[in-house]
């Protein structure tokens, strides 16, 4: 089954680190050694969640600043303590910054 590859324009959010992460992910996915169909990215999922909900008047998902981004991610998107993505993101003590992130990038079959 072929999985559709999506391209995300993270420049909408204006954060240098978000753009850098996406650039690295895309470079790795385009490598002959990586199976881009099974890449997992909480960041892409979160940005997609924000985009899908931006037109609803009753949902306020602020991501205009680094602090807004971190708070919306932590307090809304990752609010469920059982969410598997909670293990992929670490925040500063005050919750105003993302300090670490984990992404799943799987290598394809390598032959020797």
Structure confidence by residue, pLDDT tens digits, 25-80: 888 888 888 877 778 889 989 989 998 988 887 778 888 888 899 999 999 999 99
Backbone angles phi, psi at 99, to 5 degrees: -105, -20
In the predicted structure, residue 112 carries a pLDDT above the cut 80: no
**Cβ atoms within 10 Å of 66's Cβ, excluding its own:** 17
Residue 106's pLDDT is what?
A: 81
Whole-structure pTM value: 0.74
Nearest partner of 23 among 48, 64, 15, judged by Cα: 15
- CA 28 – CA 5 distance, rounded (Å): 13
Which of the four pLDDT bands, split at 50, 70 and 90, describes residue 5? very low
DSSP secondary structure string for all residues of 19-64:
HHHHHHHHHHHTSTTB-GGG-B-HHHHHHHHHHHHTT-TT-----S
Contact at 8 Å (CB) between 8 and 22?
yes
Site of tokens 């390598």: 110
Report CA 89 to chain centroid distance, whole Å: 10
């Amino acid at each position: 089954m072929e999985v559709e590859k999506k391209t995300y324009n993270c420049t909408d959010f204006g954060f240098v680190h978000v753009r850098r992460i996406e650039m690295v992910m895309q470079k790795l996915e385009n490598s002959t050694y990586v199976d881009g169909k099974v890449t997992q990215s909480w960041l892409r999922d979160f940005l997609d969640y924000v985009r899908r909900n931006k037109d609803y008047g009753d949902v306020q998902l602020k991501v205009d600043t680094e602090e807004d981004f971190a708070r919306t991610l932590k307090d809304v998107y990752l609010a469920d303590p059982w969410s598997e993505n909670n293990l992929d993101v670490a925040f500063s003590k005050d919750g105003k910054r993302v300090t670490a992130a984990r992404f799943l990038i799987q290598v394809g079959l390598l032959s020797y």
